[in-house]
Chains A and B, each alone.
Chain A
Amino acid sequence: MKYIQRYWKIVVSVVFAIAVAVFWALPAVSLLSYHEQYQLFLFTADYFRERLAVPGGLADYIAEFITQWNYIFVVGALLLALLFFVFQRLTWRIAKGEEAADVWYPLSFVPTILMLAYMCDANVMPSFLVALVLVQLLMLLWQKVACGANSVVRVAFIVVVLPLSYWLLGPVMLVLAAYIFIYVLANKSRRLSPWIAIGTAIYAVATVLVVAQFRPEPLYRLFGGLNYYRFPAYIPWPQVAMMTLVAVFPFLLRLLPAAKAKIAIPIQIISVVAGGCALVFFSFRTIANEIIDYDYLVRMHAWGKIIEKAEKKQPTTPLEVSCVNFALSQKGQLCDRLFEFYQNGGEGLFPTFTRDMLSPISTGEIFYTLGMVNDAERYFFEAQQAIPNFRRSGRLCQQIISCEIINGNYSVARKLLHELSHSLFYSRWADERLAMLGNEKKINADPVYGRLRKFRVSKDYLFSDTEMDQMLGLVYTHCYQNRNAYEYLMAYELVQRDMTKFMEYYPIGRFAGYTDHIPYAIQQALVFDWTQRHGSFDGMPYSIEPQWQQLMVQFIQAYMSNREDPVLSTPPLSNTFWNYMLINKRKAKGTKKESKEVY
């Protein structure tokens, strides 16, 4: 009992940290990958100098050092859990310094849980958490200075620490300033001059204004943080709320009266756990995180998991649909199972290019696999340029370098590899590629590079996203081993409901090497085309399996008698091209423009 009384707090904190680690390592692993892929931590003096050259740079540096470990997801999850653990413990230590009663210990998890919920937004940077943790340490230090030191030391602390913490940690310095302000006013018994409070407030604001004279960023960013949120033009209100909470929370806990531990603690634990789980659950379950999850699975080449995920919940956004179709193609099932999943026209195969950092990645991967190397590189490059806080991406660098190597641009590849070789987790890959440069034999023998060099067209054409089928036709006819290109071509015509072009391109599939069966969706389309012009299957020149003929008959009967017949909207009939062609006629969204003006 004595043991429990003595250690229950740390045990609860450790259990919490384990739960946080599990959260990051399992359901939220894609967020770890997301953070990792939009930075490239380099072990160079230049990188350190570059970070330290801006307000909040040390917090960025530490956070990016930690985030690089997300490459090994378990380690990343553990490090992040450790940060949350420290954050919670420091929250309590500071509150304890303000004479909060032990009985309210479970409430000290509230800021941490709120922070966890806030970080379910994948664009909240770990820098913010690191900065908060470090500023909490300074708050603790202030407690010591305020209690034990004389007024000269107190003033010196404020004069030195506020600007220093602003430069190193960013505007969380304002949390420290607010804390000192409240501390002075709330602890009258300690006889601290109210001028310290007023002076601190003025000094903190003046610090930011002085720094502003040397920085080009707008003032609101200098007050809101240059890298606490990935999108620089936006300071989210939860960030401001979190900063406020960290400053005032110790005093709020102090205000709570004494209570009976046997009742208060279990009630708090149940409330905090239930409320926290609900909050994190709803913060995490967003469409944005679903898309991030698909991107993560593409990154991992977890084709089976993508298909499983889609089987459980049909994807609807073009990006998700394209990932599912990509996974099907990688499993050799694209034209077999195409209509088992929701389709939204050509967008579901090649989503329209958007100027963001996420969607071009998986589309770039599709182009890459198809051997459309230049287009793949463009998408990777654009994704990298779209990273709003101007960081580099290890994942995208690798892809861009691979495209340069395939294209034989070794000087550019070498330059980019030099950068990558200063990273922790990409350096080995970079060194291997550096050794490969210029060695045509070795590159051609590489299973990926060699294959893609064969797939890459030698006769030039200009990319046109309104003529995807023509480009796929050129790619496929350049190398008939590129069966994926043929399947994408067929799938494209089918999802576009373009039977004329489908029938035009179908015959070139004879070079694709199908020996087992004609892909099912293609069979369905062939039967469909035949029945448009013939009253029976007699004389049909294609190798159509009997099951599709029977299902076609079944479909026609149901369709002709009642278009609302439930049998049409349940498998197997719902999972057919006929259903997509005749029942699900929703036009593919977003007509593509000819080309965009760039000036």
Chain B
Amino acid sequence: MKKIYVYMMAAMMLASCTEKPENVTKVDKLPAIFPDYSGVTIPDGIAPMNFNVTGDDCDCVDVTVKGSKGGEVHSNGDYAKFDLDDWHSLTRQNKGGTLTFTVCVEKDGKWTQYKDFTMTVSPYAIGDWGLTYRRIAPGYEVYGHMGIYQRDLSTFDETPIFDNLAAPGACVNCHTPNRTNPDQYTFHVRGEHGATVVHRDGKEELLKAKNDSIHGSMVYPYWHPSGKYCAYSTNNTHQSFHSVRSERIEVFDQSSDVFVYEPSTHQLILDSLLMTKDHYETYPAFSPDGRTLYFCSSTAEPIPSNYKDIKYNICEIAFNPDNGSFGTRVDTIFNARKMGKSATHPRPSYDGRYLMFTMSDYGCFPIWHKEADNWLLDLRTGKAQPMTAANSDNTDSWHNWSANSHWFVFTSRRCDGLYTRLYLASVDDKGNVSKPFLLPQENPLDYYDKLLDSYNTPDFTTKPVKLDEREMGRQINSDNRTATKVR
């Protein structure tokens, strides 16, 4: 019997990888790793940047991380997996410094040491607790299991905010807090029991999904910094499907307008300058001082025949938060049409310095455009440029700023061309954009390979969102809705 135990112990030791590198052969190339974390900039306190060695199967991965300001962590196993507390200590100690990764890989009993790579620990903390996002299969019209989730950025913990298990048949989207603060947020429910959910003052209100005066649903939201208002667009959105191998879906609006909702009165504040017949207005966003409303505008073209002629500029209009009135003039602050492009999804940094947007060849929905890249407009100089360090050959879109405006999150299809994943990057005081990093996971290769959902509409959150899912499910199914009225 004793022998059996000995054999079992020996087998277990052989099966698990705990050997130390010996007789190491050094090679002058970087290790092939997933995710590509070489040269990225991270905030201190981020979850451990675990990674897998890709390419040929390997037997063991040994990684040592040394901080430029001291400290060291070590991992030895099937993939690079760092202890949570040790990792946090290391990043805290090296804030503003660098981490150097030494990777040794064992294959067929032989160890190879690759060229070291580094990670920069940003001097800027991320500030927020985590991220919120929707997870849904990258489909067409039909949706199955999906929901809005939140993720603690310092760990790998993900919890649902609202999962459609609680309301069978419901589709939820566009979860939007006010400047990352979840004390105020809004999201939409689509399907048989449609609604726009507005959370403020500790309770939820379910608004009627549609209002005849705006000829549609409330769609893309953005809170006024005071919390007194929330701007929405209303879009008559359609989709069609490409026939060639390189493209899939085309989403276009056949009409769209922008308006402001005042939650305390349930009033919709409309303005003819934001509801023109010959233009499509969409993607509203308030400036950090709340006195300007940015939005996108394109001339209305015959749809779907001329869908490639839909090109949005970024415009602004003055807004008076005291009485909820608009200015009398619309200005174009970025003319993408002149460049033969379309600029969408403007997101001003909360410090008021930049405005980030997505640039694509045409249309209002760059999420399905491979050429889509994120751009940064300096609001002080009026100059815009692509965020080359953060962009990729595939779709990069749907970004949001952290509360301190030094970090941003965006979705990208760069991994496999279909499934959108979340990337984070930083912008320093000089406007330099860092190489982004894929949202860390405990075993990233395994996690992302098995994950059949895309991430949508990510945003930061200063603290965990609290929502009673069952109660929300009950309210959604109840069909009790508050009507909105036009002021």
Contact = CB atoms under 8 A, between A and B. Distances in A.
B238 A412 contact: no
Interface in B15-52: none
Q: Binding site of B, secondary structure by majority: helix, strand, loop or mixed?
A: loop
Contacts of B419: 412, 415
Interface stretch (A114-122, A384-392, A529-537, A576-584): A384-392
A485 to B, nearest CB: 13
5 contacts: A215-B165, A382-B142, A460-B247, A461-B242, A463-B242
B244 A457 contact: yes
Interface stretch (A94-102, A315-323, A371-379, A514-522): A371-379
A373 B245 contact: yes
Nearest to A407: B245
Given A217-B166, A385-B137, A598 B251 contact: yes
A502 B307 CA distance: 29
Contacts of B449: 415, 418
Nearest to B251: A598
B216 interface: yes
Interface string B264-295: 00000000000000000000000000000000
A258 interface: no
B450 interface: yes
Given A374-B243, A412-B416, A216 B142 contact: no
A500 interface: no
A464 B144 contact: no
A595 B240 contact: yes
B372 to A, nearest CB: 17
Interface stretch (B68-76, B105-113, B318-326, B466-474): B466-474
B393 to A, nearest CB: 13
A261 to B, nearest CB: 51
Interface residues of A, number: 50
B100 to A, nearest CB: 30
Contact of A382 (B141, B163, B418, B450): B141
Interface in B437-487: 449-450, 452, 469-470, 473-474, 477
A218 B245 contact: no
B241 A212 contact: no
B382 interface: no
A46 to B, nearest CB: 7
A388 B307 CA distance: 34
Interface in A457-480: 457-464, 471, 474
A21 B304 CA distance: 54
Interface residues of B, number: 50
Interface in B209-263: 216-217, 219, 235-248, 250-251
Contacts of A474: 243
A462 B304 CA distance: 9
A599 B216 contact: yes
A597 interface: yes
Contact of A212 (B169, B248, B452, B470): B470
A378 B238 contact: no
Contacts of A46: 450
Contacts of B137: 381, 385
B352 interface: no
A464 to B, nearest CB: 7
A390 B139 CA distance: 14
B417 interface: yes
A232 B168 contact: yes
Contact of B416 (A387, A415, A457): A415
Q: Which of B139, B190, B237, B244 has the most CB of A within 10 A?
A: B244
B239 A233 contact: no
B308 to A, nearest CB: 10
Contacts of A375: 241, 243
B115 interface: no
Given A378-B241, A456-B245, A595-B238, A385 B416 contact: no
Interface string A557-576: 00000000000000000000
B168 A390 contact: no
A386 B477 contact: no
Contacts of A439: none
Contacts of A187: none
A595 B145 CA distance: 25
A113 B251 CA distance: 51
Contacts of B142: 355, 382, 385-386
A271 interface: no
A373 B241 CA distance: 11
Given A375-B243, A378-B140, A460-B244, A419 B450 contact: yes
B146 to A, nearest CB: 9
A554 interface: no
Interface string B299-325: 000001001000000000000000000
Interface in A169-222: 212, 215-218, 221
Interface in B324-374: none
Contacts of A382: 139-142
A599 B235 contact: yes
A409 interface: yes
Contacts of A599: 190, 216-217, 219, 235-237
A373 B248 CA distance: 11
A411 interface: yes
